[in-house]
Amino acid sequence: MKKWIFIVFCFILGFIIHIFYIGYTNELLFNKFIKNSNPDYTITDIYFKKGFLTSKGSFTLNHSHTQLSTKINLKFNNYFFLNKIIKGNFTNPFDFLDEVLKNNKLGTFTLKLHDNNSKIFLNIKDINLSNEGGDTIINGGYIEALINKNLEIKNIKIHFD
């Protein structure tokens, strides 16, 4: 009986240590995301809150020449058993799309682990610009990119209907 209690205790302790370790690595990954070496972009409004099972982060990405900005919201899963490590969404940087998009969200994305790399799946919301004097309609666009551990894109697929 004592063996079983000890085994269950070790399993629970290992799971808790695992969650704290993944939370720590997610915080390091977020800090790598916001580390900016491009002079054309600035990152402002940085927020990260580490939780037990999930952590949340957000930041605003501003382009200095075009005065465009988008807010990126991230939700990190702090346990390794899910294949979706990060879920998130980003806001619309273009003023003319404000009436077309619900909640000002341009798209959503998920990040999954794939071998020693990561795959990011970016889904863009449906956009109908027929009220702007044109007949442009974008339905169900998505982008799939394979990213290495240095956040460099190795492969990318783009699809729009």
pLDDT in tens, 15-58: 889 888 888 888 888 888 788 677 788 888 889 998 888 899 99
Distances (CA, A) of 82 to 50, 77, 90, 147: 18, 8, 22, 19
Contacts of 142 (CB under 8 A, 6+ apart): 121, 122, 123, 124, 158, 159
pLDDT band at residue 13, thresholds of 50, 70 and 90? Answer: very high
CA dihedral 58, 61, 62, 63 (to 10 degrees): 180
Rounded distance between C-alpha atoms, residue 87 and residue 21, angstroms: 19
**Average pLDDT for residues 110-136, to the nearest whole number?**
73
At residue 135, does pLDDT exceed 70?
Answer: no
At residue 5, does pLDDT exceed 70?
Answer: yes
| Residue with more model confidence, 67 or 156 | 156
Rounded distance between C-alpha atoms, residue 43 and residue 64, angstroms: 10
- Considering the chain, what is the average pLDDT of its residues? 80
With residues binned 3-state (H G I as helix, E B as strand, rest as coil), the percentages for the chain, rounded to 5, are 25, 45, 30
pLDDT for the residue numbered 160: 76
At residue 104, does pLDDT exceed 80?
Answer: no
| Residue with more model confidence, 17 or 92 | 17
Check residue 10 and give left, alpha or beta (phi > 0: left; psi -120 to 50: alpha): alpha
Q: Do 90 and 71 meet the contact criterion of CB atoms below 8 Å apart?
A: yes
Rounded distance between C-alpha atoms, residue 158 and residue 161, angstroms: 10
Which of 32-46, 70-84, 96-110 has the lowest average pLDDT? 96-110
Q: Do 144 and 154 meet the contact criterion of CB atoms below 8 Å apart?
A: no
pLDDT over 90 percentage in the chain: 7
Nearest by Cα to 134 from 96, 92, 93: 96
pLDDT for the residue numbered 9: 92
